[in-house]
Amino acid sequence: MAFSSLSKVKAIDLPSYCHAVILDSRGDEGYEAEAIEWVGEIQCPVVLICLCNDFSQVLNYKDRLQLVDDIVMIDALQPGELPVRITRAIENRRADLGRRQDQELLTTLLHNVPDSIYFKDRDCCFIERGRVGAPTSL
C-alpha cells in the first residue's frame, strides 16, 4: 500500500502492518530525511529500503545511512532482484534484533548474578566483568 504522507505512515502500528517500508526517494516530496529517521530509529523488525535514481540522491542522506537497511538503485535493478533484497533485509534485521536481545540478556545476567563473572581476551586482559564479586582491575 502506498502512503502519500509521512503522517499517515506514523498513524499505523508499523510492526503489525508490514515487514518492510520502501521509501521512494526519487521524487521531490521532501519528507524522505524525516521518514528515514522515523522508520530507522524505531527498534522493530520492519526494514527500511530506499529507492534511488543515482548515487547523488544517496549523498543527500549520508548522515542517516546507518538507519537504512538497503539502498536500491532503480536503473541497476535486475528483474526479480527487489523481492530477494527485501527478503534478505528482513532476515538480516531479525537476526540483528535477536543478537541485540541476546546481548541485553547476557548483560542483565552478568550485572545481576551474585557470582564472580568476568571475560578475558586472548591476552588474559579483562574485557567485561559483572558488577558483583568480579576483579576490579579492568
> Does any domain span residue 124?
no
Number of domains forming the structure of the chain: 1
- Of the candidates 66, 64, 68, the residue with the CA atom closest to the CA atom of residue 21: 68
Which tens digits make up the pLDDT trace of 96-111?
Answer: 889 999 999 988 888 8
> Does any domain span residue 138?
no
Whether this prediction's pTM lies above 0.85 is answered by: no
pLDDT of residue 4: 65
60: CATH: 3.40.50.2300
For residues 89 and 69, is the Cβ–Cβ distance under 8 A? yes
Which tens digits make up the pLDDT trace of 5-40?
Answer: 677 777 778 777 888 888 887 776 667 778 888 877
> Does any domain span residue 39?
yes
Residue-range definition of the domain harbouring residue 98: 6-111
